Chain A
Amino acid sequence: ETGVTQTPRHLVMGMTNKKSLKCEQHLGHNAMYWYKQSAKKPLELMFVYNFKEQTENNSVPSRFSPECPNSSHLFLHLHTLQPEDSALYLCASSQKAGTSGYEQYFGPGTRLTVT
């Protein structure tokens, strides 16, 4: 596997369910990101982890809980979501240590529908 992978690609969940999104990067990067992309809105940065430490939390509701066990894996745990949380959730990674590579490489996203 190369690049950034995300599973599942599609997820339908009820408002009382608990689910998790998984992201894995194979690029040797040290930073990983979660973004939310809603129709006709800019990508919204949710969380950033650098070397497993959270460096950004963009005022995200507590029903979204990130986890970064190592520099290659990132999870987003979901519980008691609202219909307005339906969106494309994108994972990205960046910045191989020792370079100036701030550009981000994205996974294909998880299309989440909350019913």
Chain B
Amino acid sequence: EDQVTQSPEALRLQEGESSSLNCSYTVSGLRGLFWYRQDPGKGPEFLFTLYSAGEEKEKERLKATLTKKESFLHITAPKPEDSATYLCAVRLNTGGFKTIFGAGTRLFVKA
């Protein structure tokens, strides 16, 4: 069964304390892996797309990496405004549009 699992479920950091979020996947075929940020009461906001193992993408304090089994979202020196839920999603390589989301990691960054 195709599955996307994110860990930890919640993460509390002090401002400036770097850490990583994990997204592990077991799918029949990967078309792309996506990271989104979701603030309370809003729709998810697209951050990164990764297509193949070894690929890395960066944006400000965030860096996403991909292996054949998992992806990491590294947060360097986070700030309180980075507090949000981070979602990982996998689009299956089945010729259609099916996308499976993980349950997300809720990140809290304290000043």
A and B from one complex: yes
B-binding residues in A (CB < 8 A): 4, 31, 33, 40-43, 45, 48, 50, 55-56, 58, 90, 92, 94, 102-109, 111
Given A42-B104, A56-B96, A102 and B43 touching (CB < 8 A)?
no
Give the distance in Å from the alpha carbon of A94 to the alpha carbon of B44 in the complex: 13
The number of residue pairs between A and B whose CB atoms lie closer than 8 Å in the complex comes to: 62
A103: chain B residues within 8 A (beta carbon)? 32, 34, 46, 49
- Shortest CB distance B48–A (Å): 8
New contact pairs (4) apart from A50-B97, A102-B31, CB-CB < 8 Å: A33-B97, A42-B101, A103-B49, A109-B43
Give the distance in Å from the alpha carbon of A109 to the alpha carbon of B39 in the complex: 12
A104: chain B residues within 8 A (beta carbon)? 34, 44, 46, 89, 99
- Contact across chains for A42 and B102 when beta carbons are under 8 A apart: yes
Give the distance in Å from the alpha carbon of A41 to the alpha carbon of B102 in the complex: 9
Within 8 A of A (CB), among B66-106: 87, 89, 91, 96-104
